[in-house]
Chain A
């Protein structure tokens, strides 16, 4: 399939899939808590309703940042599914995240300010593991190209279990799930918890939601790469990983930012970097031959 077709399919299908996953997440979570939960399509109803609401702002330019957050998130995903360079995908992802944070700073309310600061801490916590994933992939497959990594049909996870674990650890941050949903939780029980999104309303809030759907689908793509030996195997493990994320969300309580940063960096350093070190040693002593 040509990259353009893949990008086109992504642009259309990702929000649908992302929305369904969000709905599924809420259903599964509800079942775990012995509730019935909302209909599967509830996230779509929510977004549609938000779209019809008034555009309330604190600062007149705050929504522009969110628009660009949305555009860049979509762009990031397009890069990924177009089969481009993992490093470029990573940098684009960071850039889109920065626009989100700047929008929250621009809104200039104490809650969004704290949310933005916490989001920054989260970004700082999760970046090393994601970047290390790209590094690990390069060591194992000798390419950064998403297309080529997927086309090699191997199981990088077998050589990169530590990196995979570190990535899963920070995925909990990326998916905004407990115990790491500091900057903005899905459950708006108090202002501080809504954080970064506090001052965004109506269509802009809807845009943030849809951007997250796009982002989540792209992030699941990163997980898929670890199991890319066969598409069915990949999809099965990706689904399993998603389920795991939901389970952890339901069994953990929110922790302090200090713990988030410290633990994420420790996990990345020990498991992620340890994994890379081991690979490097094995290759250097000729025990392991990584395919060229």
Chain B
């Protein structure tokens, strides 16, 4: 097993190279199939109990790896500088140059003097992330095979077929994410961090339209701003002789490493699309659906909250931590309210991602062990359910030609299996007793013990989430007339991904006590040096399982479908004409009935609220800056 993690990180990079080399569709399918199996098995192997410490060993000299990264970083810097010239973006150039100016002297001159004991790390938290990256990310790649075929051949024959690069970047992304979660030295984390920013730039701009180019650039700029924060953190750490390893950083005296930890958390805020940086993730939905699924569920945004939760022990009980928690709480509330006014399914999903990440950031900012436990749990449930939802919406969009929620009415007849999967995903996102609820419960408890006023954000935000999810669920169920079933020619890769994620959504809810005791609780115990930690009383867990079992019985009632009932037409306020969807209205005209959702756009104007949120979040970040500078 020696050197296993190194292999796991390098493997997707190698595949990316292979994918870039081949133009053949069939070979690409083969490579992607092998690659996905590889990353999934690799992640699963690491999750097995009793994995020896030797997996973190490096088969090559660490200096060699560092040097290779340095070369790659220099190439990235040159590429980005070239890009800024080509796009006439002085801001991008400034960000890139600032980062290089900070780090280049250190890396060339003093870089080798930075004593690093462990380059790679392996604990339960990184294993959880690796499982999400490998399993959910792998399934998204499988799905992408079918999706991109249909995308280019049926729906966008006008676009340039860049699938060769597309799949290479997907694997590059997975590799970088593995690297990010398994690196123990922040210098390496920083390298992978930059690679994910670049990958997301390429993927968001894939279509090559004006809009996608603009949004890709915005994503890049915001992530580079976060990268600058990261670079400053590294600069401060190395100059101050502080530890550059995560495992030593979190056990240092908090006062000494608070500044770099806050800067790292700031970088996390940008990557996790918190206000005021949410617009890049909302704009990212112009990309093909697998990209959205990858960014929202298994890769990009998780990197941000991963880092914040990592430094949470340092932030615990500090003013900086409180400010970061406030940014998260504010983002949760504002994004949840904004989602009510959105009718585009992908936009609703994007807002809900931003909102959920807000909750996780809130947990990280508070930083107590209960809060971090809740945060990790939220990452798990969110990744799976959100991945499923995005993939479903992608299929639905291709089949019914729209991703407006109102157009999805009757989906339960048009695409029954997809509708059920969407319902499972949504239930997983917010419904009791599924995952999110367990986490929301935990978040609320954690918040109340340290900062009760934050509960106000959760209280109002979760009421809003309820509204937009159920509105959508209801739409799927409404049936006003017979529809044709259009659930055909979906492809094996897509079905595999969809079925697996549905099963995972349900499975993680059922098995959540197991996930908690085997992975999350041991991590929390070591991080916080606790002898004992039981985040939830046994009685409550039993009650939740009973509730889940009760809800799981619901499909059984369909055994009784249509028995002992007399079917009549709905009441339409006038005499019904022909079938149940028309009625004789005024002046003898036959009218079609129609039903539209509420969006409350006058009371909760989406754009205006987001703008207000950005301003408030900027104020909070300014507060953070002042706080950091003063201390």
Contact = CB atoms under 8 A, between A and B. Distances in A.
Question: Is B truly associated with A?
Answer: yes
B467 A121 contact: yes
Nearest to A55: B565
B470 A95 contact: no
A258 B598 CA distance: 12
Contacts, number: 175
Contact of B570 (A199, A258, A269): A199
B361 to A, nearest CB: 20
A221 interface: no
B441 A72 contact: no
A106 interface: yes
A264 B468 CA distance: 19
Contacts of B550: 68, 71-72, 75
A265 interface: yes
A163 to B, nearest CB: 11
Contacts of A261: 600, 603
Interface string A90-130: 01101100100110111111111110110011011101100
A57 interface: yes
- Contact residues of A: prevailing secondary structure: helix
B470 A120 contact: yes
A106 B477 contact: yes
Nearest to A203: B564
A151 interface: no
B547 A131 contact: no
Given A124-B466, A124-B467, A87 B441 contact: yes
A280 interface: yes
A125 B569 CA distance: 32
B563 to A, nearest CB: 9
Interface in A53-89: 54-61, 63-64, 67-68, 71-72, 75, 79, 84-85, 87-88
A60 B452 contact: no
Contacts of A104: 474
Nearest to B478: A108
A98 B431 contact: yes
Contacts of A64: 554, 557-558, 560
B562 A60 contact: yes
Interface in B478-516: 478-480
Nearest to B463: A127
A105 B478 contact: yes
Given A58-B569, A61-B561, A117-B598, A95 B551 contact: yes
Contact of B432 (A54, A91, A110): A91
A277 interface: yes
A199 B448 contact: no
A262 interface: yes
Contacts of B473: 102, 105
Contacts of A61: 557-558, 561
B48 interface: no
A267 B172 CA distance: 52
B392 interface: no
Nearest to A257: B598
A276 interface: yes
A138 interface: yes
B558 A95 contact: no
A107 B478 CA distance: 7
Contacts of B562: 60
Contacts of B460: 128, 265, 268-269
A139 interface: yes
Query: Which range holds the interface residue count of chain B?
Result: 35 or more
Contacts of B595: 108, 110, 113-114
Contacts of A14: none
B107 to A, nearest CB: 46
B558 A262 contact: no
Interface stretch (B323-331, B527-535, B536-544): B536-544
A132 interface: yes
Nearest to B572: A110
A198 interface: yes
Contacts of B567: 56-60
B477 A85 contact: no
A57 B571 contact: no
B50 interface: no
Interface in A108-167: 108-114, 116-117, 120-121, 123-125, 127-128, 131-132, 135, 138-139, 144
Contact of A84 (B539, B557, B564, B580): B539
A63 B459 contact: no
A116 B432 contact: no
A123 B598 CA distance: 14
A245 interface: no
A118 to B, nearest CB: 8
Contacts of A108: 477-480, 570, 595
Interface string A1-33: 000000000000000000000000000000000
A273 interface: yes
Interface string A251-292: 000000010011001001100010011001000000000000
B401 interface: no
A136 to B, nearest CB: 9
B14 interface: no
B456 interface: yes
Contacts of B603: 258, 261-262
B399 interface: no
A46 interface: no
Nearest to A117: B598
Which 5 pairs between the two chains have the least Cβ-Cβ distance? Answer: A109-B570, A105-B474, A64-B557, A127-B463, A91-B432
22 contacts: A55-B564, A59-B479, A60-B561, A64-B557, A85-B543, A92-B547, A95-B547, A98-B466, A102-B474, A106-B479, A109-B570, A110-B573, A110-B595, A111-B570, A112-B570, A117-B598, A120-B470, A127-B462, A131-B463, A198-B571, A261-B600, A268-B459
Interface of B: 431-433, 437, 441, 444-445, 448, 452-453, 455-456, 458-460, 462-464, 466-467, 470-471, 473-475, 477-480, 539-540, 543-544, 547, 550-551, 554, 557-558, 560-562, 564-573, 580, 593, 595, 597-598, 600, 602-603
Given A60-B561, A75-B547, 4 more contacts: A68-B554, A108-B570, A120-B598, A131-B458
